[in-house]
Amino acid sequence: MSDKNLNCSDCGAEFVFTQGEQDFYAEKGFTNEPRRCPECRKQKKQQRRNYNSEY
C-alpha cells in the first residue's frame, strides 16, 4: 500500500492518509478510511469535549 489522498467531508480540503496511518487503522480493526482532515477531526473532538463538560 501507499499513501492515499482523501478529501475531507467537512471542509473539502485534500489530505494525505499515510501508509503508517493505514497500518494503524488496520491494526485497530478499523475498516473505514478517515472522512475528516486532521484539523476538522481536532475541531470535532473539541466540540464533543465542550458539549460533555457542559452536562
Q: Which three cell numbers stand for residue 37?
A: 482532515
Place of cell 492518509: 17
Its pTM stands at 0.78
Closest C-alpha among 53, 19, 21 to residue 36: 21
Question: Percent of the chain, pLDDT > 90?
Answer: 84
Closest C-alpha among 54, 12, 9 to residue 35: 9
Q: Is residue 20 predicted with pLDDT exceeding 70?
A: yes
**Average pLDDT, integer, range 8-35:** 97
Average pLDDT, whole number, for the chain?
Answer: 93
In the prediction, which pLDDT does 43 show?
A: 96
